Structure 1
Amino acid sequence: MYIIVVYDVSVERVNKIKKFLRQHLHWVQNSVFEGEVTRAEFERIRSGIRELIQEDEDSVVIYKLRSGPNREIIGVEKNPMEDII
């Protein structure tokens, strides 16, 4: 499955979330990650996010898609997908 993770977390947790998600997904722009994952990887990501955030303060939205998105970028692409090996 293809997922997009969007987060809005307290300043003291931003770097922890970003570092964790970079281990699993492709960074698209500030607070946005995406990538193809297995069901097991998805569960690890969801579990890891739950451990890092404060659910009464932070917000994380995970979009699940059956295939990769059809993206259109307007303006500067922060981290081009072509850079992935």
Structure 2
Amino acid sequence: MVHLIVIYDAKAERTRHYRTYLRRHLTHLQQSVFEGDVTAGTADEIRETMDGLVSESAYDAAVVYEVSSQSYLKREAYGDDPADDKHIL
């Protein structure tokens, strides 16, 4: 498993393409920020999909951060944490 953090910037009319896809695999934290644990294969799929979505428009941008070991990840949330299971309906 790897931990991914994905952020994107796109025109308002295109954000739904990113949001709809990323919600299938990751937790939607805030606006255009997603994170979660996925398999290496799913991480590759997300990278390929993001590359394809960005390629469609010169105004879009995306960054995928990968943390391959939990020992390298220190995560602190302040206030309500969107990644907490109690936020899932």
Q: Do these two structures clear the TM 0.5 threshold for a shared fold by scoring above it?
A: yes
Q: CA deviation at 1:13?
A: 1.0
Unaligned runs of 5+ in 1: none
* Corresponding residue number in structure 2 for 1:16: 17
> 8 Å contact 2:5–2:34 — kept in the other structure?
yes
User: Residue type matched to 2:59 in 1?
Assistant: E
Over the residues paired in the alignment, what is the CA RMSD in angstroms?
Answer: 2.2
* Corresponding residue number in structure 2 for 1:60: 62
Which structure's residues are more often helix, by fraction? 2
**Paired residues, number:** 84
Q: CA deviation at 1:43?
A: 1.3
Pair 1:73 & 2:77 matched: yes
* Corresponding residue number in structure 2 for 1:48: 49
Deviations 1:5-55 (A, max 9, x none): 011111121011000000011111111000111111011111112222335
The two structures have a TM-score, normalised by structure 1, of 0.80
The two structures have a TM-score, normalised by structure 2, of 0.77
* Corresponding residue number in structure 1 for 2:85: 82
